[in-house]
Amino acid sequence: MSAGAEHHVVIVGAGFGGLEAARNLASAPVRITMIDRRNHHLFQPLLYQVATASLPTSEIAWPIRFLLRGHKNVTTLLGTVTGVERDGKRVLLDGEPPIAFDTLILATGARHAYFGHDEWEPYAPGVKTLEDATRIRRRILSAFEQAEWETDEARRAEWLTFVIIGAGPTGVEIAGTIAELARDTLRGDFRNFDTRSARVVLVEAGPRILAGFTEDLSAYAARALERLGVEVRLGQAVSQCRADGVELGGAFLPARTILWAAGVAASPAAEWLEAPADRAGRVRVEPDLSVPGQPDIFVVGDTAFVAGADGKPVPGVAPAAKQEGHYVAKLIKARLQGKPSAAPFVYKNAGNLATIGKRAAIVDFGWIKLRGRLAWWIWGIAHIFFLIGLRNRLAVALNWLWIYVSGHRSARLITQRDPGRAPPD
Ligand SMILES: Cc1cc2nc3c(=O)[nH]c(=O)nc-3n(C[C@H](O)[C@H](O)[C@H](O)COP(=O)(O)OP(=O)(O)OC[C@H]3O[C@@H](n4cnc5c(N)ncnc54)[C@H](O)[C@@H]3O)c2cc1C
């Protein structure tokens, strides 16, 4: 690896992994180009709160340019990467000239996967970007508005049925919050129906919800959801998604709002690199996170597949992406100083957390497992701690406190909807 100020590191993706790499390389004698197709870094763990009207968008996203403004060796570019010339060492972009690199870090994350049924996406959107979250918020709030107009009871029931597919942390969090919206936040706001009659159905193909947690925590979460009025349907795979409902377990369930929280696939980095990948499309990287046969190209975060010390894949979570970004930055700095190759990447488990509504959560740090209100406070404090900037931390804390005490959610805005009574989207 050539040393000196001209060594050019290109980072694609300013999510958790890419941003951490950029920050840790900022003091190194390198020139860094950060490329992202969006102008903001997004705190995805709280995205569902935007989707369910609990937080405004600006509380969980920050302009990348602003976050990196203090690092004079970093240039931020808004652009979409479409490929990589491995041998020519260039990154290819949509509508912009290629960019040459000495070292490349791909941190392009993951996207929804519909298990071969991409045609379901318009009916069952997933939550991955700010646009997704505001679209889902529009659908949820518009469904209640449509129910207010409806005079036919069966059709009103369709508008008031919300189906969430996939009972991982995101599905559980969305289901719990929609149930609270209906029971608590919106109660009394409509004249032609009682919002408490809304049905929230959480569908899971596996035998239990939150499969990444221990059985007792998962059972606790299922009970907490049921207390909120959520119907949990286990062992039922969805076989059809339509505008007016879903087919599951051989029966049709009419519903006007269907949300997808069932699966993700990695960004197409493995295709760009023609590198070996696992079934989810993640690049099978070397223990130092470089691409096999390409020591100057690294892949981190949700797009990388690497085994942890226990032999299991490192999970697709924010702390793993950050640790990988940090590790690669350190490795690049060591190489520039001519130091021998680094020890393999080792993931340090940062714990597993999920919340069920505004009063219950489950937390598993390995050495301690908690559930209930105390777990909810730990969940809340952990998330506030990882937000960027004092203003956002205070704003989110105040928002949550307000929801906790009053049940009111201030971000109940339907935006980007055509005027008139047209159904959402
Ligand atoms: C709804 C939801 C809830 C979650 N909850 C939690 C949680 O509670 N706890 C937790 O630890 N993890 C959670 N996660 C997972 C966590 O957010 C991811 O593991 C983490 O974001 C991965 O970081 P990353 O850097 O790999 O990718 P990302 O953070 O996804 O960043 C990828 C970046 O690459 C950019 N990009 C992608 N493709 C291109 C391209 N072609 N050209 C240019 N730029 C591109 C994107 O715009 C994005 O900025 C959640 C994820 C979601 C979607």
Name all domains of the chain by residue range, CATH numbers in brackets: 7-37+79-112+264-336 (3.50.50.60), 118-262 (3.50.50.100)
Q: What per-residue confidence (pLDDT) applies to 3?
A: 47
Which ligand 1 atom sits nearest the alpha carbon of residue 303? 26
Q: What per-residue confidence (pLDDT) applies to 113?
A: 93
Radius of gyration of the chain (CA): 22
Instruction: Give me ligand 1 centre to Cα 137, in Å.
Output: 20
Q: What per-residue confidence (pLDDT) applies to 390?
A: 87
Residue 318 has pLDDT above 80, yes or no: yes
Protein residues with CB under 6 Å of any ligand 1 atom: 12-18, 35-38, 44-45, 47-48, 80-81, 107-109, 127-128, 169-170, 267, 301-303, 316-319, 321
Mutate to test the pocket of ligand 1, among 12, 44, 131, 386 (most ligand atoms within 8 A of CB): 44
Residue 250 Rama label (left phi>0; alpha psi -120 to 50; beta):
left
As annotated, the active-site residues are: 173
Instruction: Give me ligand 1 centre to Cα 63, in Å.
Output: 15
* Beta-carbon contacts of residue 175 (< 8 Å; ≥ 6 apart): 162, 164, 167, 200, 202, 225, 230
Which ligand 1 atom sits nearest the alpha carbon of residue 261? 1
Q: What per-residue confidence (pLDDT) applies to 418?
A: 55
As a whole number, mean pLDDT of residues 311-340 equals 94
The percentage of residues in the chain with a pLDDT greater than 70, rounded to a whole number, is 97
Instruction: Give me ligand 1 centre to Cα 314, in Å.
Output: 15
pLDDT tens profile 81-130: 999 999 999 999 999 999 999 999 999 999 999 999 999 999 999 999 99
pLDDT tens profile 286-297: 999 999 999 999
Q: Which segment of 44-48, 275-279, 285-289, 401-405 scores lowest on mean pLDDT?
A: 401-405
Instruction: Give me ligand 1 centre to Cα 152, in Å.
Output: 42
Nearest to 196 by CA among 216, 219, 173, 179: 179
* Beta-carbon contacts of residue 383 (< 8 Å; ≥ 6 apart): 45, 46, 396
Q: What per-residue confidence (pLDDT) applies to 187?
A: 93
Which ligand 1 atom sits nearest the alpha carbon of residue 320? 19
340 vs 329, higher pLDDT: 329
Q: How confident is the model at residue 180 (pLDDT cuts 50, 70, 90)?
A: very high
Q: What per-residue confidence (pLDDT) applies to 423?
A: 52
User: To the nearest whole number, what is the mean pLDDT of the chain?
Assistant: 93
Q: What per-residue confidence (pLDDT) applies to 425?
A: 55
